[in-house]
């Protein structure tokens, strides 16, 4: 029967018997790396300009930014808790590659959080600095800001790729049943398809332009856009984000 097969462990030569600490470690890590982190990335990439937003009459939507840091902060806390559970119980002995991948992911996550703290000032007409100047790191697209964006985004996508291997090796060591493997793989497939669909819909809007608009007076609008991002036409203030927009870059 299909139901019996779904409940069987992936390796029939081993049992699926884990401690409560290991079980919660696995649940938390799957929640972090299969749900929270992908959601934070999707929102940050595709929700810079909301469908109901009358861009460029309405600029600098905070939905993506608040969602991004809240989800990542929660993910970091839960990942640390999951790591503590297996460390406290001593369950990581003899697990091999999964332990080293897990440690690498957590160290990289800590570096990612630190990079966000060190990203520099925002600036711009709506966020002047304490001295009244608008020449913040982001608005002026200083070297510090450009290095941060390249590093932060590259490390973020690399982390997701490594986490996939870490999750799969963890499931193998726990000898997870078939239904868990199918659930995780199907969910990741949905995420990849959603990413591709949103990308094709043209929802990856240039961050700088989403915040400050298309005016050529803004220094960042003279720089090339990041991979896959696009700029909107300035005359489309009332149109929703989608295929009808044309790149101006």
- Domains of the chain and CATH, by start: 2-222 (1.20.120)
Query: What Rg, from alpha-carbon coordinates, does the chain have?
Result: 21
The C-alpha atoms of residue 167 and residue 173 are separated, in whole angstroms, by 10
- Give pairs for 64-72: CB < 8 Å, separation 24+: 67/39, 67/40, 67/43, 68/40, 68/43, 68/44, 69/116, 71/36, 71/37, 71/39, 71/40, 71/43, 72/36, 72/37, 72/40, 72/112, 72/113, 72/116
pLDDT above 70 (res 222): yes
Give the number of other CB atoms < 10 A from CB of residue 159. 20
Backbone phi, psi, residue 234, to 5°: -70, -20
pLDDT attached to residue 239: 39
- Of 19 and 240, more confident: 19
For the segment 50-63, the average pLDDT, to the nearest whole number, is: 89
Query: Does 35 sit behind a cis peptide bond, omega within 30 degrees of 0 on the bond before it?
Result: no
Task: Look up residue 9 and give its DSSP letter.
Answer: B
User: Which of the four pLDDT bands, split at 50, 70 and 90, describes residue 151?
Assistant: very high
pLDDT attached to residue 97: 81
Percent of the chain exceeding pLDDT 70 equals 90
Give the number of other CB atoms < 10 A from CB of residue 13. 6
pLDDT above 50 (res 99): yes
The C-alpha atoms of residue 79 and residue 49 are separated, in whole angstroms, by 30
pLDDT attached to residue 86: 85
Lowest-pLDDT range, 3-17, 18-32, 53-67?
3-17
pLDDT above 60 (res 98): yes
- Of 246 and 116, more confident: 116
Q: Within its chain, how far is the Cα of 109 from the centroid?
A: 11
What does the mean pLDDT of the chain come to? 87
pLDDT above 60 (res 87): yes
pLDDT attached to residue 150: 94
């Amino acid at each position: 029967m299909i139901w019996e097969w779904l409940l069987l462990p992936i390796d029939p030569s081993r049992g699926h018997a884990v401690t409560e600490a290991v079980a919660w470690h696995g649940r938390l890590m799957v929640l972090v790396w299969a749900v929270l982190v992908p959601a934070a990335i999707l929102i940050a990439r595709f929700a810079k300009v909301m469908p109901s937003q009358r861009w460029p009459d309405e600029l600098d939507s905070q939905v993506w930014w608040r969602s991004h840091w809240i989800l990542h902060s929660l993910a970091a806390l839960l990942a640390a808790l999951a790591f503590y559970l297996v460390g406290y119980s001593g369950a990581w002995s003899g697990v091999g590659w999964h332990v080293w991948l897990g440690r690498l992911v957590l160290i990289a996550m800590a570096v990612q959080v630190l990079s966000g703290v060190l990203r520099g000032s925002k600036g711009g007409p709506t966020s002047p600095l304490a001295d009244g100047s608008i020449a913040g790191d982001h608005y002026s697209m200083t070297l510090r800001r450009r290095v941060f964006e390249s590093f932060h985004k590259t490390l973020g996508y690399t982390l997701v790729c490594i986490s996939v291997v870490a999750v799969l090796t963890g499931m193998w060591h726990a000898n997870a049943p078939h239904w868990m493997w199918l659930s995780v793989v199907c969910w990741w497939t949905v995420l990849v398809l959603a990413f591709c669909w949103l990308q094709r819909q043209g929802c990856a809007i240039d961050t700088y332009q989403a915040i400050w608009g298309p005016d050529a007076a803004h220094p960042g609008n003279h720089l090339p856009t990041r991979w896959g991002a696009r700029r909107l036409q300035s005359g489309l203030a009332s149109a929703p984000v989608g295929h009808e927009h044309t790149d101006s870059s």
